[in-house]
């Protein structure tokens, strides 16, 4: 999907050769005699009482006089806030999902558009038109091929436009891999996707297999993987956008490519949705796809422990005790609490990068869905500055999260008579006790945990991955890049980065 940013007046938009114009009309509009065909159309509609500028209200016209586009949709955008722009475009594009609409102009010329507005417009156009076709040959692919974003002054919002394009690349990469069925998205497939990202400038990929993970002593990760015929993979991505001495942000994504629950098997109903249990891994891959496009001045490491959680004869059993990479032992009281087991070893591994911050992203608990639904991701961190930065990034990117408590008392239920800790602590406060478990492996790190179990995908008739929280993560990295030392010219530094290896 191609995007183009142009400075367009309403008169110029009327003469633009395209299949459809989507014109956003705010409550407040310039006064004066209507001069262009679009202005005349709006004036006539307003005089007749047919132009409603409430968010999402629409008025469609076919081949209006003086306009080159065959279809024009006027859509109300209310006070023209970023959230209103997103809702208005989503509503307007819903009526333009037609095979004939291949080139569309989003006309924002009546708005006082800023970087955030333009970014939201680009992202929404991609979201609404997205179609998954990889395993569905009968699906009609996306008809919309080109989108022109028209604003009053293109030079003033170029940054937001470029960020929006990078975000689309990242979100759609995450959606693609999260939507794939588990037999089309095994740990090995995820590793191949990561290797392809490693072909981009400044990105290097390393993939560790069974023997290397055993050598690292990742006993918790190995325990989850041992019940599956699919080999595990531990994926390490490195993006080098700043000077080598600049400490990286480490993103850790849960990569359970299918979760049966193991011996503590899940109910059959909706178990197919457990292909989405690698949503955290997909968000890390998507963020790196966005980094490849945007090239911000920051160093980022992505860690993805990936395996299946299956119930065969070799599977880990309730009551088994395993030793994590940190040396702490874990009594596995419930094999369906597997995500925290693979993440805890990855968090220990993360410490070797001496990171400026570590953020793990996981479809971790149903309890978080009960607490926050599908609106906000759960945010857990003992570090106020890091938590605030993530919250602000989420609000700016319209990918919000909500900070949850981490009182020490919540960890009481993790005590075990047979190991340093159990992997569950009962149903009460389940999202919090899961975070308290992870905190035991991140005590020395500037760490935050995002529970995306409610936000990574939708069920029902709209079943599919959302691509969240790629927008939040990318905005956080952009914000951090503003504080990071600039990268030295390539000739002034030695070649570095992760070695490439085949698992």
341 and 475 both lie in a single domain = yes
363 part of a folded domain: yes
353 part of a folded domain: yes
The range of the structural domain enclosing residue 376 comes to: 168-492
Q: Which two tokens stand for residue 79?
A: 């006070």
130 and 205 both lie in a single domain = no
503 part of a folded domain: no
| pLDDT computed for residue 424 by the predictor | 98
- Identify the band that residue 483 occupies on the pLDDT scale cut at 50, 70 and 90: confident
pTM score, two decimals? 0.94
Q: How far apart are CA 165 and CA 171, in angstroms?
A: 10
pLDDT of 297 higher than 60? yes
Q: How far apart are CA 181 and CA 236, in angstroms?
A: 23
349 and 227 both lie in a single domain = yes
Omega before residue 469 within 30° of 0, cis: yes
162 part of a folded domain: no
Over the stretch 420-429, which tens digit does the pLDDT of each residue have?
999 999 999 9
Over the stretch 38-52, which tens digit does the pLDDT of each residue have?
999 999 999 999 999
62 and 87 both lie in a single domain = yes
Strand ranges (DSSP E) for 170-284? Answer: 203-208, 233-240, 249-253, 255-259
CATH number at residue 90: 3.40.220.10
298 part of a folded domain: yes
Residue that has been written with the tokens 């490439």 in this structure: 500
Which of 123, 152, 181 is the C-terminal boundary of a domain? 152
CA neighbor of 14 nearest in space, from 41, 52, 32: 41
388 and 276 both lie in a single domain = yes
Which of 87, 122, 152 is the C-terminal boundary of a domain? 152
| pLDDT computed for residue 485 by the predictor | 54
Q: What is the mean pLDDT of residues 460-485?
A: 93
Over the stretch 363-396, which tens digit does the pLDDT of each residue have?
999 999 999 999 999 999 999 999 999 999 999 9
How many percent of the chain have pLDDT more than 90?
93
129 and 205 both lie in a single domain = no
179 and 46 both lie in a single domain = no
262 and 367 both lie in a single domain = yes
| pLDDT computed for residue 492 by the predictor | 40
| pLDDT computed for residue 484 by the predictor | 56
| pLDDT computed for residue 493 by the predictor | 38
- Identify the band that residue 494 occupies on the pLDDT scale cut at 50, 70 and 90: very low
Q: What is the mean pLDDT of residues 408-412?
A: 97
Is 266 an annotated catalytic residue?
Answer: yes
Is 119 an annotated catalytic residue?
Answer: no
In three state form, how does the secondary structure of 92-138 look? HHHCCCCCCCCEEEEECCCCCCCHHHHHHHHHHHHHHHCCCCCCCCC
Q: How far apart are CA 358 and CA 362, in angstroms?
A: 13
422 part of a folded domain: yes
pLDDT of 66 higher than 60? yes
**Active-site entry in 142, 266, 403, 458:** 266
Q: How high is the mean pLDDT of the chain?
A: 94
Which of 126, 152, 178 is the C-terminal boundary of a domain? 152
Count of CB atoms within 10 A of residue 228's CB? Answer: 22
157 part of a folded domain: no
| pLDDT computed for residue 28 by the predictor | 85
pLDDT of 129 higher than 50? yes
pLDDT of 343 higher than 90? yes
**Active-site entry in 340, 436, 440, 487:** 340
148 and 181 both lie in a single domain = no
| pLDDT computed for residue 80 by the predictor | 95
In the chain, the number of structural domains is: 2
96 and 213 both lie in a single domain = no
427 part of a folded domain: yes
91 and 179 both lie in a single domain = no
CATH number at residue 243: 3.40.630.10
How many percent of the chain have pLDDT more than 70?
96
118 and 263 both lie in a single domain = no
């Amino acid at each position: 999907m191609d995007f183009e940013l142009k400075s367009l007046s309403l008169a110029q938009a009327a003469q633009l050769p395209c299949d459809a114009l989507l014109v956003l009309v705010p409550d407040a509009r310039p006064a004066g005699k209507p001069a262009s065909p679009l202005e005349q159309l709006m004036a006539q509609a307003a005089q007749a009482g047919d132009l409603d500028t409430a968010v999402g209200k629409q008025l469609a016209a076919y081949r209006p006089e003086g306009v080159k586009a065959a279809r024009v949709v006027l859509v109300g955008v209310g006070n023209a806030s970023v959230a209103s722009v997103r809702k208005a475009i989503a509503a307007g594009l819903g009526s333009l999902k037609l095979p004939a609409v291949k080139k569309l102009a989003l006309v924002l010329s009546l708005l006082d558009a800023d970087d955030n507005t333009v970014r939201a417009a680009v992202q929404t156009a991609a979201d609404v038109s997205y179609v998954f076709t990889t395993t569905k040959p009968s699906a009609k692919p996306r008809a919309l091929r080109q989108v022109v974003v028209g604003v009053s002054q293109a030079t003033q919002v170029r940054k937001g436009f470029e960020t929006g394009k990078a975000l689309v690349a990242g979100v759609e990469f995450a959606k693609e891999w999260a939507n794939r069925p588990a037999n089309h998205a095994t740990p090995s497939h995820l590793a191949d996707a990561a290797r392809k990202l490693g072909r981009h400038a400044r990105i290097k990929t390393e993939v560790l297999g069974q023997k290397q993970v055993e050598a690292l002593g990742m006993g918790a990760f190995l325990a989850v993987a041992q019940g599956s015929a699919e080999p595990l993979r531990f994926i390490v991505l490195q993006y080098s956008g700043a000077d080598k001495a600049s400490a990286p942000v480490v993103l850790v994504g849960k990569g359970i490519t299918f979760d049966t629950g193991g011996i503590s098997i899940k109910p059959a109903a909706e178990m197919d949705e457990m292909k989405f249990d690698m949503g955290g891994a997909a968000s890390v891959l998507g963020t790196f796809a966005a980094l490849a496009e945007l090239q911000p001045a920051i160093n980022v490491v992505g860690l993805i422990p990936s395996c299946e959680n299956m119930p065969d004869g070799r599977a880990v059993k309730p009551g088994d005790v395993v030793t994590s990479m940190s040396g702490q032992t874990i009594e596995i009281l419930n094999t369906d609490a597997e995500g925290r087991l693979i993440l805890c070893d990855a968090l220990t591994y993360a410490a070797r990068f001496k990171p400026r911050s570590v953020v793990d992203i996981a479809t971790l608990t149903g309890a978080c869905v009960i607490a926050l639904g599908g609106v906000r991701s759960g945010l857990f961190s003992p570090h106020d500055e890091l938590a605030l930065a993530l919250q602000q990034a989420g609000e700016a990117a319209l990918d919000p999260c909500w900070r949850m408590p981490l009182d020490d008392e919540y960890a009481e239920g993790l005590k075990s008579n047979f190991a340093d800790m159990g992997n569950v602590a009962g149903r009460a406060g389940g999202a919090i006790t899961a975070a308290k478990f992870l905190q035991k492996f991140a005590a020395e790190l500037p760490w935050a945990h995002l529970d995306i179990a409610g936000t990574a995908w939708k069920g029902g008739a709209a079943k599919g991955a959302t691509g969240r929280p790629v927008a939040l993560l990318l905005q956080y990295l952009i914000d951090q890049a503003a504080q990071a030392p600039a990268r030295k010219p390539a000739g002034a530094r030695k070649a570095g980065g992760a070695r490439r290896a085949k698992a």
